Amino acid sequence: MRAYDIIFKKRWNEILSSSEIDFMVKGFVKGVIPNYQMSAFLMAVAINGMNTDETLSLTKSFVDSGDIIDLSSIPGIKVDKHSSGGVGDTTTLVVAPIVAAAEIPVAKMSGRGLGHSGGTIDKLESIPGFRTKISEDDFIKQVKDIGIAIVGKIGNVVPADKLIYALRDVTATVDSLPLIASSIMSKKIAGGSDAIVLDVKVGSGAFIEDEKEVEKLAKIMVNIGKGFRKKMRAVITDMSQPLGNAIGNSLEVEEAIKILKGNGSSDLREVCINIAANMLLSGQKVKDLKNGIDLTEEILTSGRGLQKFKQLISHQGGNSNIVEDLSLLPKAQYEDKLTADSNGFIKKIDCKQIGIASIILGAGREKKEDIIDSSVGIVMEKRLGDNVKMKEKICTIYGNDFSKIEEAKKILKKTIEISEKRVSKPILIKKIID
């Protein structure tokens, strides 16, 4: 078998066998297949796509390239979730404690933010003392003890994806649906959970803005999961504006706590309730989605979700007093505000640009080696469809550098459009695929 012949086949849109795909992945990980041949292979896939069997085989090769976390010693159905990324997407910090409070084990590996999209690990690390690096044994023990753990990568999970993604990033092949699906699902499969709920974003702040393409991606990922005998559900949710009011790491932790206390952004709350309800259904805790929503709301109202979040923080070395005293979270030195320059209704919010403005402040990374400033960010006071008056505050900007605040403010001014006509609010839950 030769890499040349496999590339040639895919170039002419022929179907590859599982052994041919495995040969390419394993050969590249071992260093036998050079970058230029893998790049050619990725471009052929990006142009011609892959069918269901090919995509499943590619995912399997990714999974088999490294460790698979064994969660079998944890009693019950383990349920994981994945968000395809976005701005102000604080769902994991709210949803995971709710589901764990319902006695469904949540053993979650999460990632860092890159580009305009924030990362769960960065948010958790804004909590003083919180450890996101723990051993696999301690990870499993913690889930057994309190029903929840959220950590960064454990062991050598899916090394093929890391190596291949680095090539995709520089060869214009990032937005290929089979490559996206295999990348996401290989990490979820290797994470070892029995059921997976996908929160797939669509809109200006998502990696894919077209709703039909997002639905196609969701279906591919659901089919991959089922191919590995996982219980699968995908929820397509709106990302045409920041999901919550807060964008920035400690600011998002603060908002997550507010949601768990019954306050915070109504949009973030609605999406969290729906994601949690789908996880409860996947974990066979409830018989249908309505019961899942009812149970989720009861856990929020009773404060059990908040207590589980506090327990999570304590067990991973964090200062759980932040739950009662938000001033213990990192705070920026300075703040500024963006005000409306006319009367009307918020017509458009370029969500991606808001994410970029937060990066300029220091809340995110353009490169992996960039250092995060946990204290900075943006808090939205107005959302799509809201009525605004001249000089009324649209958002507050928090920073530690006046020049960066001014630069971010210039971007924000261009990013928000006001219309004289009334504007309808977006539908948050677009579709559920199972």
Condensed to tens digits (0 to 9), the pLDDT of residues 277-292 reads 999 999 999 999 999 9
Q: DSSP letter at 130?
A: -
Residue 2 confidence (pLDDT): 96
Catalytic residue selected from 126, 183, 240, 320: 183
Specify the pLDDT at position 111: 81
Distance CA 242, CA 255 (A): 13
- Check if CATH label 3.40.50.150 holds for domain 330-419: no
Q: For 169-180, write each residue's pLDDT tens digit.
A: 889 998 899 999
Q: Can you tell me the mean pLDDT for 203-228? A: 92
248, 377 contact by CB (below 8 A): yes
**What's the pLDDT at 309?**
98
Question: Does the structure show a pLDDT above 70 at 115?
Answer: no
Q: Which of 60, 82, 116, 310 is catalytic?
A: 82
Q: How far is CA 269 from CA 14, 62, 162, 296, in A?
A: 46, 35, 33, 11
pLDDT score at 116: 64
pLDDT at 370 over 80: no
Sign of CA dihedral 121, 355, 326, 383: negative
Over the stretch 60-88, which tens digit does the pLDDT of each residue have? Answer: 999 999 999 999 999 999 999 998 877 87
Rounded to the nearest integer, the mean pLDDT of the chain is 94
Known catalytic residue: 168?
Answer: yes
Which tokens hold the place of 289?
């989605």
CATH no. of 3-49: 1.20.970.10
**The pairing of beta strand 195-202 with beta strand 231-238:** parallel
- Give pLDDT tens digits for 43-59: 999 999 999 999 999 99
Identify whether 187 is a catalytic site residue.
Answer: yes
Strands 429-433 and 377-380: unpaired
Cα→Cα distances 261→28, 147, 246, 289, 388, Å = 49, 20, 16, 23, 28
Distance between CA atoms of 388 and 5, rounded to whole angstroms? 61
Can you give the C-alpha Rg of the chain in angstroms? 22
- Over the stretch 125-134, which tens digit does the pLDDT of each residue have? 999 999 999 9
> What would the mean pLDDT of 261-274 be, rounded to a whole number?
94
Catalytic residue among 161, 199, 267, 350: 161
Mean pLDDT score, 1-27 = 97
* pLDDT above 90 as % of the chain: 86
> 78, 187, 315, 382: which one is catalytic?
187
The per-residue pLDDT for range 293-347, each reduced to its tens digit, is 999 999 999 999 999 999 999 999 999 999 999 999 999 999 999 999 999 999 9
Q: What is the pLDDT of residue 87?
A: 83
pLDDT above 70 as % of the chain: 98
Amino acid identity of residue 321, one-letter, is N
Of 231, 147, 247, the residue nearest 189 (C-alpha) = 231
Per-domain residue ranges for the chain?
3-49, 79-323, 330-419
Query: Is 233 a residue of the active site?
Result: no
* The pLDDT of residue 368: 67
Q: Which residues lie across from 19 on neighbouring strands?
A: none
* pLDDT recorded at residue 376: 96
Same fold for the domain at 3-49 and the one at 330-419?
no
Name residues whose C-beta falls within 8 Å of residue 92's C-beta, 6 or more positions apart in sequence.
Answer: 81, 83, 108, 110, 120, 150
Q: Please identify which of the residues 168, 285, 404, 409 carries the catalytic annotation.
A: 168
Check residue 145 and give its pLDDT: 97
**pLDDT score for 117:** 67
Is the pLDDT assigned to residue 101 strictly greater than 70?
yes
Beta strands in 316-428 (DSSP E): 334-339, 344-349, 377-380, 387-388, 393-399, 416-419
Residue 259 has pLDDT above 70, yes or no: yes
Is 82 noted as a catalytic residue in this protein? yes
Q: What are the residues whose beta carbons fall under 8 Å from the beta carbon of 166, sequence distance 6 or more?
A: none
Whether 183 sits among the annotated catalytic residues: the reply is yes
Q: Say what the pTM is.
A: 0.93
At residue 105, the pLDDT reads 97
- Of the candidate CATH numbers 3.30.200.20, 3.40.930.10, 3.40.1110.10, 3.40.1030.10, the domain formed by 79-323 belongs to 3.40.1030.10
The pLDDT value given to residue 69: 95
Tell me the mean pLDDT in the region 403-432: 94
**Calpha distance 173→185 (Å, rounded):** 17
CA distances from 97 to 5, 135, 149, 312 (A): 50, 21, 9, 8
Instruction: Give the pLDDT of residue 371.
Output: 85
| pLDDT confidence of residue 170 | 86
Q: What is the dihedral of CA 166, 170, 171, 172, to 10 degrees?
A: 110
The residue behind tokens 């995060």 is 372
- Residue 214 scores a pLDDT above 90: yes
Residue 22 sits at φ, ψ, to 5 deg, of -65, -35
**82-96 pLDDT, tens digit each:** 988 778 789 999 999
Q: How confident is the model at residue 114 (pLDDT cuts 50, 70, 90)?
A: low
85 burial type by CB count under 10 A (0-12 exposed, 13-18 middle, 19+ buried): buried
